[in-house]
């Protein structure tokens, strides 16, 4: 991979994490937290959602946040790829104007989750995806567009998803024009065997258009699923600092996999992430400053690194 990384760790805490917390993080604390994440060497940061603040007040001022990031904070640190989540044309217009590097569009495999989360059927979201892609091509073709297939491994209402349906919807959003398709275990129900099989099916069908794996640790399978996805060929993983987040529309789907623990796992497997683990753990203090009293998770932050641990020394600029 570029910049000496074998694997891309994509930090989704500023979006997926914050939108699942009832409180709204102070704007300055939010900006400082993102700066601390960048200073730790993360390659990608999902800075927020471009949605109505009446729907998700935690995501208010995402446009201004990115502008402030570009004009001040980013001048003093390495610049990661900035990702914004959009669910409709209006959100895409805002994301383009704000200057994101990449757009992620949620498309749910579960019809129930799609209507609850987005107010549209899966077919309607695929049609909306096509319109968003066309807008990006007309306005700023350099922006990447990825479809994230929610509930790909199961839904809290509908149960297990048919793998054939997952692959079919992935093929349809590729035909709609997205550059990559990721799979999300929104309900945290996936298992390593299931993950390995489904991603192999995705690669057989889509090849290099397969994008990120997004796992939750609801049933303790998150990092095991990472290893299974690695085995299938995945090289981009979403995670959230301190395991912040979940899904407000998937009851019981607790936090994302912990970024600190994920980086430790990948580096222990001999894969360069370009991330400074000490700075990454230190970024937890910025998160806690913005959300005092919020439960933070993660084994590496609590136990530290094993004595004599040999991490990859390849830097992100190698």
| CB distance 109 to 152 below 8 Å | yes
Q: What are phi and psi of 149, to 5 degrees?
A: -85, 100
What was the pLDDT predicted at 316? 40
Q: Enumerate residues 6+ apart whose C-beta is below 8 A from 36.
A: 279, 282, 283, 286
Catalytic hit among 210, 213, 242, 247: 247
113, two tokens: 């989750």
Q: Which helix (H) or strand (E) holds 232?
A: helix 222-232
pLDDT of 77: 60
82 lies in some domain: yes
Query: Is 247 part of the annotated catalytic residue set?
Result: yes
186 found inside a domain: yes
pLDDT score for 78 = 64
Q: What is the mean pLDDT of residues 55-74?
A: 86
**Per-residue pLDDT, 247:** 56
Q: What is the pLDDT of residue 74?
A: 58
Q: Which residues does residue 46 pair with via DSSP β-bridges, in sequence order?
A: 83
Contacts of 196 (CB under 8 A, 6+ apart): 228, 229, 231, 232
Q: Per the structure, how many domains does the chain have?
A: 1
The CATH number of the domain holding residue 198 is 3.20.20.70
* Residue pLDDT, tens place only, 217-247: 988 999 999 999 999 999 999 999 999 986 5
Among 81, 155, 168, 169, CA closest to 125: 169
Q: Is the pLDDT of residue 314 over 80?
A: no
Cα 182–Cα 216–Cα 162 angle in degrees, nearest 5: 55
Q: How far apart are CA 45 and CA 1, in angstroms?
A: 17
Do residues 133 and 177 touch, judged by C-beta distance below 8 A? yes
Q: What is the mean pLDDT of residues 104-117?
A: 95
**Span 117-139, mean pLDDT?**
96
Assessment of whether the complete model's pTM goes beyond 0.85: yes
73 assigned to some structural domain: yes
**Stronger pLDDT, 315 or 272, i.e. the higher one:** 272
Confidence category of residue 254, pLDDT binned at 50, 70, 90: low
Residue ranges making up the domain that contains 186:
2-303
Domain assignment present for residue 34? The answer is yes
Residue 311 lies in a domain: no
Q: Judge whether 315 lies within some domain.
A: no
Per-residue confidence (pLDDT) for residue 297, from 0 to 100: 92
What backbone torsions phi and psi does residue 182 show, to the nearest 5 degrees? -105, 165
Q: How much is the CA Rg of the chain, to the nearest whole Å? A: 18
The pLDDT assigned to 159 comes to 93
d(CA 54, CA 314): 44
């Amino acid at each position: 991979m570029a910049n000496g990384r074998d694997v891309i760790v994509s930090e989704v805490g500023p979006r997926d994490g914050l939108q699942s917390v009832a409180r709204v993080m102070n704007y300055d604390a939010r900006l400082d937290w993102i700066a601390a994440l960048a200073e730790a060497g993360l390659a990608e940061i999902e800075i927020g959602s471009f949605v109505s603040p009446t729907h998700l007040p935690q995501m208010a001022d995402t446009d201004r946040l990115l502008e402030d990031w570009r004009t001040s904070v980013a001048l003093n640190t390495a610049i990661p790829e900035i990702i914004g989540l959009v669910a409709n044309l209006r959100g895409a217009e805002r994301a383009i104007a704000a200057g994101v590097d990449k757009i992620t569009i949620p498309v749910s495999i579960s019809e129930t989750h799609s209507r609850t989360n987005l107010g549209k059927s899966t077919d309607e979201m695929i049609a909306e995806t096509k319109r968003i892609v066309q807008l990006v091509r007309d306005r700023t073709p350099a922006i990447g567009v990825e479809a994230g297939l929610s509930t790909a491994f199961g839904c809290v209402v509908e149960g297990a998803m048919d793998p054939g349906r997952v692959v079919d919807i992935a093929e349809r959003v590729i035909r709609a024009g997205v550059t990559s398709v990721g799979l999300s275990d929104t309900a945290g129900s996936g298992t390593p065997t299931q993950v390995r099989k489904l991603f192999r099916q995705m690669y057989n069908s889509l090849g290099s258009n397969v994008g990120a794996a997004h796992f939750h640790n609801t049933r303790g399978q998150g990092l095991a699923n990472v290893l299974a996805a690695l085995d299938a060929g995945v090289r981009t993983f979403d995670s959230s600092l301190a395991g912040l987040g979940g899904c407000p529309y998937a009851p019981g789907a607790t936090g994302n996999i912990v970024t600190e623990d994920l980086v430790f796992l990948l580096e222990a497997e001999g894969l360069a992430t370009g991330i400074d683990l000490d700075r990454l753990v230190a970024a937890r203090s910025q998160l806690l400053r913005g959300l005092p009293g919020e439960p933070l998770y993660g084994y590496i932050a609590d136990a530290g690194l094993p004595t004599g641990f040999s991490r990859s020394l390849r830097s992100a600029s190698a």
